[in-house]
C-alpha cells in the first residue's frame, strides 16, 4: 500500500525550520542598492507611521534626484522634509503637502516637480502595484485638472478616470511589529499607506519597532505576509513625533 | 446676525441621522461632531484609516499612532476599527459612508465645488477631498457665503480649479441653508435675523426663493 505523500521536506534532520528569512541586521544593509534617480515609495500619513530610521539613512547616503511617492512631504525638520532640505528629491508624488514651508518654496520656484494626486487614488495606485493590477478606473478627479490627459470612461451612467499602478524601485514601510519571516503588524492609524505599499515596488524594505523570531506572532493577526517584504530590520530609535497634539482636559 | 463657525456646525449637525457613518473634513466640519445629538448612534470615519473616532485624548494619553485626517491626536470608541488608506477609500467609493461634510472656497449652482488650490497662491493639495466628493451620495458643504472682500462664493460657475463636478447637495453658510437643485440654489432657511434680501445680495448664482423662508432653528 502506498503512503500518502503530503509533507514539507525538512532541510536536515536537525533543522526543522524551513522559514525564509527576510531579516537584515542594519538600516545600512536594508537600504543597499538605493541610488540616485530612483523612485521610492515611503509609507506614512503626515508624520504618523513614517519609516524614520530609513529616512535618516537616506539623508546620510546623500542619494539625489529621487522621485518620492508619499502621501505627504513631512514637516520642515522631520520626515521627508529632511530630504527636501538637502535637495535630494527631484519629484514628489503626494496628495497633500501643506505643512512644509521649504516644500512650498521649492515648488513655487520650480526646483521641485510635484504631482498632486487624490489620496484615495494614490493609495489605490500603490495597492494596484501591490496586487499586480496595471490600471483601474476611479471617479475621483473626473472633470478636474487631475483627469487632464487621462482616459475617461462611463460605467453605469457615471464617469471614471483611468489611473495606472505606480512603478517604483523601492518601497520603504514602517510597521509596529515584524518577524524574521517578514510578516508585519501595524498599530492604529500608522497602517495608512504602509500596508498598501508593502510589495508594491521591486524591493520592499520594512523597518519595525520590534523584530521578533518567526513563530512569535500569531499568523491570524498578520496584516502583511512576509512574501511582500524583502528586507526587514528593527529601527534603532523611533521619535514618533506628533504633528498636531490635541487633548482635552480631565 | 450671521452665524459663527460653531453655529454653522450646529446647524449641520441636525442633518446627521441615526445610524449614519460620517466623514468630516477639516475646519468647520470637524466641529460638527461636538453638536451631534447624543441619543442617536453615529460613527465618524477618518480617511487615513479609522472608523469609530472618539474625542481628543486626555492630556498625557496622546498616541502618535492614533490620529485623524487632520493629523490631530484622537481616541477611538467601542466598535472602532483601523484599516489602511486604500481600504478606507474603498468604503468611501462603495458608498458605505452615508454623509460627507466638507469645506469649500467656492460652489456653483450646478453643484461643482472648488476647495484645493488657488493658482499662484496656495497649493496644498486635495488630500482626500476629490475622492470624497466624487463618490459620496450625500455631500454637505460648510462654507462662508462671501469672502473677506464681500464677494460671493456661491456662484454661477466656480472660478478656482475644481475639486469635483455636480456633487454638492446641500450648503450651510453663515447666512443660509440651501439645496443644490437642477435649477440652482434653493433657499431653505435663513440665519436668525438675516433677511432674504441680504442672502440674494450675497449670492451670485441663481437663487430660488419660494414662499416664506423660515429662520434656522439651532437649539
Neighboring chain B residues of A143 at a CB cutoff of 8 Å: 112, 162, 164-166
B47: annotated active-site residue: yes
Instruction: Please tell me what DSSP assigns to residue B213.
Output: -
Give B159 to chain A, closest Cα distance, Å.
Answer: 12
Let me know if residue B76 belongs to a domain: yes
Let me know if residue B217 belongs to a domain: no
Distance CA B52, CA B134 (A): 23
| pLDDT of chain A, 250 residues: tens digit per residue | 566 666 666 565 555 567 899 999 999 999 999 999 999 999 999 999 999 999 999 999 999 999 999 999 999 999 999 999 999 999 999 999 987 888 888 988 889 999 999 999 999 999 999 999 999 999 999 999 999 999 999 999 999 999 999 999 999 999 999 999 999 999 999 999 999 999 999 999 999 999 999 999 999 999 999 999 999 999 999 999 999 999 998 8
Let me know if residue B56 belongs to a domain: yes
Structural domains of chain B, count = 1
B139-B142-B144 Cα angle (round to 5)? 140
Beta-carbon contacts of residue B14 (< 8 Å; ≥ 6 apart): none
Residue A16 is predicted with a pLDDT of 52
> What is the β-pairing status of strands B117-118 and B50-53?
unpaired
Give B44 to chain A, closest Cα distance, Å.
Answer: 14
Substitution target from B47, B67, B108, B160 for chain A, most A beta carbons within 10 A: B67
Answer whether B34 touches A (CB < 8 Å). Answer: no
Percent of chain B with pLDDT over 90: 92
Model pLDDT for residues B19-60, shown as the tens digit of each residue: 999 999 988 999 999 999 999 999 999 999 999 999 999 999
Tell me if B128 and A195 make a contact (CB, 8 A cut-off).
Answer: no
CATH assignment at residue B133: 3.40.1080.10
Residue A103 is predicted with a pLDDT of 87
Cell of B156: 454661477
Let me know if residue B219 belongs to a domain: no
Residue A19 is predicted with a pLDDT of 82
Which own/partner contact pairs does B149-154 have at CB distance under 8 Å and 24+ positions apart?
B152/B202, B152/B203, B152/B204, B152/B205, B153/B104, B153/B105, B153/B106, B153/B107, B154/B106, B154/B107, B154/B178, B154/B185, B154/B202, B154/B203, B154/B204, B154/B205
Tell me if B88 and A123 make a contact (CB, 8 A cut-off).
Answer: yes
Confidence of residue B119 (pLDDT cuts 50, 70, 90): confident
Residue A6 is predicted with a pLDDT of 63
B residues 114-173 near A, CB within 8 Å? 123-131, 134-135, 161-166
Neighboring chain A residues of B93 at a CB cutoff of 8 Å: 120, 138-139
What secondary structure does DSSP assign to A22-61, as a single string? -B-SSHHHHTTT--TT-EEEE--BTTBT--HHHHHHHHHH
Among chain A residues, the shortest Cα distance to B57 is held by A247
Residue A11 is predicted with a pLDDT of 60
Q: Which of B15, B43, B47, B189 is catalytic?
A: B47
pTM, to two decimals = 0.95
Q: Tell me the residue range of the domain where B61 lies.
A: 5-208
Substitution target from A42, A112, A120 for chain B, most B beta carbons within 10 A: A120
Let me know if residue B86 belongs to a domain: yes
Torsion of CA B66, B68, B72, B76, to 10 degrees: -50
Instruction: Residue A158: count other Cβ atoms within 10 Å of its Cβ.
Output: 12
Nearest to A98 among B61, B125, B135 (CB): B125
Beta-carbon contacts of residue A21 (< 8 Å; ≥ 6 apart): A180, A181, A214
Percent of chain B with pLDDT over 70: 100
B6-24 b/e (C-beta count within 10 Å ≥ 16 → b): ebbbbbbbbbbeeebbbbb
Residue A80 is predicted with a pLDDT of 96
Let me know if residue B213 belongs to a domain: no
Tell me if A243 and B67 make a contact (CB, 8 A cut-off).
Answer: yes
Residue A17 is predicted with a pLDDT of 63
> What is the β-pairing status of strands B99-103 and B139-142?
parallel
Residue A13 is predicted with a pLDDT of 54
B1-B4-B10 Cα angle (round to 5)? 110
Beta-carbon contacts of residue A144 (< 8 Å; ≥ 6 apart): B130, B161, B162, B163, B164, B165
Give A126 to chain B, closest Cα distance, Å.
Answer: 8
Residue A1 is predicted with a pLDDT of 57
Residue A4 is predicted with a pLDDT of 64
Amino acid at each position: 500500500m502506498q503512503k500518502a505523500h503530503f509533507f514539507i521536506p525538512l532541510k536536515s534532520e536537525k533543522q526543522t525550520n524551513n522559514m525564509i528569512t527576510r531579516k537584515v541586521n542594519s538600516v545600512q544593509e536594508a537600504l543597499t542598492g538605493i541610488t540616485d534617480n530612483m523612485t521610492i515609495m515611503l509609507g506614512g500619513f503626515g508624520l504618523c507611521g513614517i519609516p524614520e530610521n530609513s529616512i535618516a539613512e537616506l539623508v546620510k547616503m546623500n542619494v539625489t534626484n529621487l522621485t518620492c511617492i508619499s502621501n505627504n512631504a513631512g514637516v520642515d525638520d522631520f520626515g521627508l522634509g529632511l530630504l527636501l532640505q538637502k535637495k535630494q528629491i527631484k519629484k514628489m508624488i503626494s496628495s497633500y503637502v501643506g505643512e512644509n514651508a521649504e516644500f512650498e518654496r521649492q515648488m513655487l520656484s520650480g526646483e521641485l516637480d510635484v504631482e498632486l494626486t487624490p489620496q484615495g487614488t494614490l493609495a489605490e495606485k500603490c495597492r494596484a502595484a501591490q496586487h499586480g493590477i496595471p490600471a483601474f478606473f476611479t471617479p475621483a478627479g473626473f472633470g478636474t485638472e487631475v483627469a487632464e490627459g487621462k482616459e475617461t470612461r462611463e460605467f453605469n451612467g457615471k464617469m471614471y478616470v483611468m489611473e495606472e499602478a505606480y512603478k517604483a524601485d523601492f518601497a520603504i514601510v514602517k510597521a509596529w511589529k515584524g518577524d524574521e519571516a517578514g510578516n508585519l503588524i501595524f498599530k492604529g492609524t500608522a497602517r495608512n499607506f504602509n500596508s498598501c505599499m508593502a510589495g508594491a515596488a521591486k524591493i520592499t524594505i520594512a523597518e519595525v519597532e520590534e523584530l521578533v523570531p518567526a513563530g512569535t506572532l500569531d499568523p491570524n493577526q498578520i496584516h502583511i505576509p512576509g512574501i511582500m517584504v524583502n528586507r526587514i530590520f528593527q529601527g534603532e530609535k523611533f521619535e514618533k513625533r506628533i504633528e498636531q497634539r490635541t487633548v482635552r482636559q480631565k | 446676525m450671521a452665524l459663527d463657525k460653531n453655529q454653522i456646525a450646529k446647524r449641520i449637525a441636525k442633518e446627521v441621522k441615526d445610524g449614519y457613518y460620517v466623514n468630516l473634513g477639516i475646519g468647520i466640519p470637524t466641529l460638527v461632531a461636538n453638536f451631534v445629538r447624543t441619543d442617536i448612534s453615529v460613527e465618524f470615519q477618518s480617511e487615513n484609516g479609522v472608523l469609530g473616532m472618539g474625542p481628543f485624548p486626555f492630556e498625557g494619553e496622546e498616541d502618535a499612532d492614533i490620529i485623524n485626517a487632520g493629523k490631530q491626536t484622537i481616541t477611538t470608541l467601542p466598535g472602532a476599527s483601523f484599516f489602511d488608506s486604500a481600504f478606507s477609500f474603498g468604503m468611501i467609493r462603495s458608498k458605505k459612508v452615508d454623509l460627507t461634510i466638507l469645506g469649500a472656497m467656492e460652489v456653483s449652482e450646478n453643484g461643482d465645488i472648488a476647495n484645493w488650490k488657488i493658482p499662484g497662491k496656495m497649493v496644498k493639495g486635495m488630500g482626500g477631498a476629490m475622492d470624497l466628493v466624487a463618490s459620496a451620495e450625500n455631500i454637505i458643504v460648510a462654507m462662508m457665503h462671501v469672502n473677506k472682500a464681500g464677494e460671493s462664493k456661491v456662484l454661477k460657475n466656480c472660478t478656482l480649479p475644481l475639486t469635483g463636478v455636480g456633487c454638492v447637495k446641500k450648503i450651510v453658510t453663515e447666512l443660509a441653508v440651501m439645496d443644490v437643485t437642477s435649477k440652482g440654489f434653493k433657499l431653505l432657511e435663513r440665519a436668525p435675523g438675516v433677511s432674504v434680501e441680504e442672502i440674494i445680495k450675497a449670492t451670485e448664482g441663481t437663487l430660488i426663493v419660494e414662499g416664506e423662508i423660515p429662520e434656522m432653528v439651532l437649539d
